A = this chain, B = another copy of it.
Amino acid sequence: MSERKKNIEGTRPGIVADLQPSDDQSAIVRKLGAISLLSQEEIDFLEGLQNNTLAIAAGTDFITDGNDLRTTFIMMEGWAKRYVLLPSGRRQILSYVLPGDILGLHVNFRSKATYSAAALTDCKVAVVDPRRMLEISQKFPVLAAGLSWCTAREFAILGDQAVRLGRLGAQQRIAHLLLELRSRMRLIGETNGEWLDFPMTQADLADTLGLSIVHVNRQLMDLRQRKIITLERDHVHLDDVKALSEMSHFDFEHLAEFQI
């Protein structure tokens, strides 16, 4: 019914995927490298951490709420969602896990996961012994500062999620989330113009933003009709970033890519 524009700024969304493997550094190296200058030794250590990888098919749960969680995961490729299921059957998605993100950075000897995590796309995940993460703070001060920054940033991202849920309207929530994902993908160099990966369903979006599926659809349709976004299978194009940021009060400084 609505116009599915094939290309806005010239490029097809498929190219986003093509870019990914072309870079030889892992996402976490790109992420920490974007905020600090890493030595070759530090880069080698980070790459070495990620030797033990796991392939997870889209849709698979790999962390389950209440189960023991004694492993740290580093997302190498693909997206996942972190969520909670309520006894009522309702679901709240807490955050999206993007390449370069760490899950279970603060696990303890007896800790249980307080959330579940499922792959949204096929994922490649590094399985790391949390003791090796501790090693970092002993031996690599720059990396330790980087991890500390990651933790602070995760707090900020979760705080933003609370702001969206508590104090923004439906369409504002969508706009704000899109800009957050855009910021995060830009940091690791996985954007192509204003095209953004968008592997989640509208049901996922509803459970992220505290809305019903129907209402998410209504607001998405409105954004499309007003030419603010373009939706394609698994990708969004942000046609009007200015409109999105104005309507959602998104603060670009907030998750800014400052140097250590």
Q: What are the interface flags for A220-260 relative to B under an 8 Å C-beta threshold, 1 for contact and 0 otherwise?
A: 00000000000000000000000000000100011000111
Copies in the complex: 2
Q: Given A87-B249, A106-B151, A110-B259, is A159 in contact with B158 using a C-beta cutoff of 8 Å?
A: yes
B167 touches A210 (CB 8 A): yes
Does A178 belong to the interface (CB within 8 Å)? Answer: no
A108 touches B161 (CB 8 A): no
Distance (Å) between the CB of A247 and the closest chain B CB? 11
Tell whether A162 is near chain B: CB-to-CB under 8 Å.
yes
Q: Please, which residue of chain B has its CB at the minimum distance from the CB of A255? A: B114
A91 within 8 A of B: yes
- Report chain B residues within 8 Å CB of A114: 152, 155-156, 159, 254
Interface residues on A, range: 35 or more
Taking a contact as CB atoms under 8 Å apart, the answer to whether B149 and A106 are in contact is yes
A111 sits at the interface (CB 8 A): yes
A residues 76-103 near B (Cβ < 8 Å) are 84, 86-88, 90-92, 94
Decide if A209 is an interface residue (CB 8 Å cutoff): yes
Among the listed B108, B159, B259, which residue makes an inter-chain contact with A94, where contact means beta carbons less than 8 Å apart? B159
Is the CB–CB distance between A152 and B106 below 8 Å?
yes
Contact B155 A155 (CB under 8 A): yes
A220 to chain B, nearest CB (A): 18
Q: What is the bound-complex CA distance between A112 and B231, given in angstroms?
A: 35
Pairs of residues from A and B, 4 with the lowest C-beta to C-beta distance, nearest first: A166-B210, A165-B165, A106-B152, A114-B156
The residues of A with any CB-CB pair to B shorter than 8 Å are 66, 84, 86-88, 90-92, 94, 106-111, 114-115, 134, 137-138, 144-145, 148-149, 151-152, 154-156, 158-159, 161-163, 165-167, 207-210, 249, 253-254, 258-260
